[in-house]
Structure 1
Amino acid sequence: MSGAEWASAQLVAAARDGHVESLTALVANTRPHVLRFAHTLCASPQDAEDAAQEALLILFRKVGTLRSITALSSWMFRIVRNECLRRLRPQGWDDLGGLGAMESPEDEVIRHLEAERVARAIAALPDVQRRVLVLRDVQGYPGRAVADSLGLSLAAMKSQLHRARTNVKAALRH
């Protein structure tokens, strides 16, 4: 979907120029598209809402840097994707202060690259598998809670979790 389908060139231009009503209309027109995309990428509805909200805040603050109307949708999708990936990273991944040993710059780069590989593998999973995996393995919710929150039987949740783990392992082998 192109940015032109989200808003007119005049609306984007007026928003870029700081016209408050145009900026409000641009954010309102963009919200459903951003939210729909966030729901396909993020692990939970709450993460999707948060990622979409963050993307819309960035649009609000930085619309003046937008080069053209055709860049609007790709720009917003990239922001949402990055926000969803950020939410997939394990809590405390960047906080290693309590380990006592300093990490070398090389180790830090390797750790960061591995985290990105895992996040991409998880993001590439089918929707149900991604949600099950993130809720169960990343966020640590009990199996019954994950199954109930996704409207699955416990057996179906376990099956989806097994498939998700298998798919992530396969993706990381390549």
Structure 2
Amino acid sequence: MSALDAVRARHSWSKVTDDAPTREELLTLVAAAGRVADHSSLRPWRLIELRGDDRVVLGKAIAEAEGDKKPSSKPLRAPLLIAVVASFRTSSKVPRWEQEAVASGVAHTMSLLLDDAGWGVFWRTGEYTRSKAVAKAHGLHKDEALLGWLYVGGKPAGKKAGRRKSVDARAMLTGMPAKTKKKPAK
């Protein structure tokens, strides 16, 4: 399958089975995702693998962040969660927003690679990703930000992935406004 075919075929899977890729399978995909465009090769990201009771710990942290007494069951919706962390580096050339974009690019590339490998994936975010309780549960450092989690599991037999509307490419790809274009030199 070509990269274009893989991107066109990708869907979010909000319901997955209890199957999940092994750590060894993940390492191969992480190494490939690390090839994302990265100004100055700062590698301003890291991924945290959550399985088993790690998800229960996260559920408690989400509950604390939201002011709930009962742990959130959201992290139990997939057997594997991959926390996506922007790890900001000091750089005079690469601003924080660009470093966060790199981490986001790694997450999206991971979702494409996991989907292409046959796994169901969806990216979950929420206001609590920036909470102290959730940051502490993940062991984040002061120069790190949690961007969300990739929920990963098996694709259920007979189920369809979430639908996305087609993009109107002509509306999304524009040229420079005419008034800013310079006339060619004679």
Both proteins in one fold, TM over 0.5: no
Larger relative contact order (CA 8 Å, sep ≥ 6): 2
Q: Which has the larger helix fraction?
A: 1
- Bigger share in strand: 2
Query: TM-score when scaled to structure 2?
Result: 0.24
